[in-house]
Amino acid sequence: YPENALETIQYVSDSIAAMFEVAVAQTKDGKLVLMHDNAIDRTTDGNGLVKHLSYSELQQYHLVDDFGNVTDFQIPLFSDVLKWCKTNNIVLTVDITRGTPEKLVIDAIKAQQAEDISIIITYDVAQAESAFALAPELLLSVSARNHTEFDRLLETDIPTENMLAFTGT
């Protein structure tokens, strides 16, 4: 099963209780899709930058697994993933790829009424503050890899109840 595929989430959730990290990118025509990389070269049988391809163009390609095998699965719309996860009470940690508007992703979460199953991944205090300003009801994954980062987070107006600390790998 390939990364960032709805079928992968469905398969794993049938076997174990899990939270899933997904990455969201924006296509040329403004659609939000699951895609970790800026380009589709590593994860599909196609090539090119997500931001230069429309959603219909992406649909001509198939996702590949970790071993490079082409699967029958295609790049899913973020809204479809949210809808399925909301229906099945599956928690997502949402990584917003560089260049994708944070507000657009948060608006998509709100449109599916998926705030209770979504956690926004942030990488610094400014991004955490921005996400909190857009959606104070969401849980945020915040980087707290050292005392300095942790102290900066505590100095913000973000309630600690809204923070899930990421301490690094």
Residues of the chain with pLDDT > 70, as a percent, come to 100
Strand partners, 8: none
pTM: 0.94
Query: What mean pLDDT comes out for the span 11-39?
Result: 96
Residue 74 in this model has a pLDDT that exceeds 80: yes
Cβ atoms of 33 and 46 closer than 8 Å: no
Q: Residue 141 is inside which H or E element, if any?
A: strand 139-143
What pLDDT was estimated at residue 49?
Answer: 97
